[in-house]
Copies of this chain bind each other. A is one copy, B any other.
């Protein structure tokens, strides 16, 4: 027996298995039999370039793969960095010891920092299968991680990613909204205003997890957000700000692996949320951050008590990691702005920045409120003075000028995409709009194709408090395929009460 494993040649299966590497072996393969592999095995593959990975094995009919070969899914091939015909060494996967800690958590016991460290290191090394990540996230969901666990998780996530340092800057500012309100795209406005006021705001944003758009999805329709760390430095050197996608700079790579499973499960995990947000801020070198926590019956956070707990956790975890955090609990009872989905939200941003008459006033006011707090955090001159300064920067066109400079430094402003399919939906009754279900509205935009199709989503013609007559437009739906448009429409037909009209 060869103690170091057995040899097979790489064969590109050309199958996209997302981030979970899958390998394929013939059922009559002697390596398969000799090593005792069966259809549920996890196996270790090493390339001659010394790269290695643990993958899930699928067995294939012997006529589907040449003898002596092992098939690789795309991600398996990319991680091993091999071409067809390269020699690979196959052996049993080592036992992943940190899965013992996951089982401990499953059984309701708190984890210490070394256990959490090891889980995150192993996830980051791609040693967990998808169902193992799903299991870990599910038992950390809700409020099942305590403060110490969240601090450990945050530090572990920072430790395994890249860092951005700012040797010439004393203070780095950041702003984040935990999400849950469709359309609430204030971040680019706050960044433009605050940097125009002299703060350094090198903003890296996420793509959507469970919403119809994340800030990075929206910004991606306006400018290049795939910046390297060096490019971020160059943009910030020119403009004191940037609007980049955090995923491109690998600030919290373990988080990126977990977010995919969270998205597939349509799950939000409190401790993971905090660690995800703060790890990226810490890795990006931030010293001061405001966090917007919208509260409403159908927002991500449903009541004041949950918001208070979240604010406390953000503040305490920040403190433990040398990040000064101010949480702002805001009204989350209604969508903010009119556009929902990447491009439609970008349209609203431009309208606000340009001072257009049709700019959504609620989006403008929410952005000014947050910018005012960020300015107060920097200059300690009080909220009112901050609000006055923020408004004058926006109304004078300084924010729009700053936004254009950032866009220019990031390769120039792009034209917004238009959707291929659209349909206006009219009210079936007359009355006043008493409430709008944010969750179902978000789901509607997602079913139409957001955020994967940037032009997909919807645009509200109404908001809470509006008087509508039967036949008045409620919203327009946008989609890139007829299948998705039909899918979204059938969901709306079954959920017309998401607009509560009386």
A residues engaging B (CB < 8 A)? 1, 3, 12-18, 24, 27, 33-36, 38-40, 58-61, 63-64, 91-92, 95, 99, 103, 106-108, 129-139, 141-144, 260-261, 263-267, 449, 452-453, 479-484, 486-487, 491
Contact = CB atoms under 8 A, between A and B. Distances in A.
A35 B108 contact: no
Contacts of A264: 40, 129, 131
Contact of A33 (B1, B18, B131, B481): B481
A36 B481 CA distance: 6
A142 B15 contact: no
Give the interface centre of A12, A15, A24 by most chain B CB atoms within 10 Å: A15
Given A15-B24, A106-B267, A134-B135, 6 more contacts: A12-B61, A36-B480, A92-B484, A131-B133, A132-B265, A134-B134
Contacts of A487: 36, 92
A189 to B, nearest CB: 30
Contact of A60 (B14, B18, B64): B14
B16 A39 contact: yes
A-B pairs, top 7 by smallest CB distance, nearest first, are: A14-B61, A35-B483, A131-B134, A36-B484, A1-B482, A36-B481, A135-B138
A487 B36 CA distance: 10
Contacts of A13: 60, 64
A15 B64 contact: yes
A309 B34 CA distance: 44
A144 B141 CA distance: 14
A59 B16 contact: yes
Contact of A14 (B64, B92, B483): B64
Contact of A34 (B15, B38, B452, B481): B481
A194 B104 CA distance: 39
Contacts of A33: 481
B63 A481 contact: no
Contacts of A39: 16, 18
A479 B14 contact: no
A130 B265 CA distance: 11
A265 B487 CA distance: 35
A96 B449 CA distance: 18
Contact of A141 (B14, B34, B139, B265): B139
Contact of A35 (B18, B141, B144, B481): B481
A491 B94 CA distance: 10
A144 B14 CA distance: 42
A92 B14 CA distance: 23
A131 B63 CA distance: 30
Contacts of A133: 131
14 contacts: A1-B482, A14-B60, A18-B40, A35-B481, A91-B483, A99-B266, A103-B265, A106-B141, A108-B144, A129-B264, A131-B133, A131-B261, A134-B135, A139-B139
Nearest to A18: B39
Contacts of A24: 15
Nearest to A270: B107
Nearest to A453: B36
A135 B265 contact: yes
A76 to B, nearest CB: 13
Nearest to A260: B40
Contacts of A107: 141-142
A225 to B, nearest CB: 20
A245 B91 CA distance: 33
A480 B34 CA distance: 8
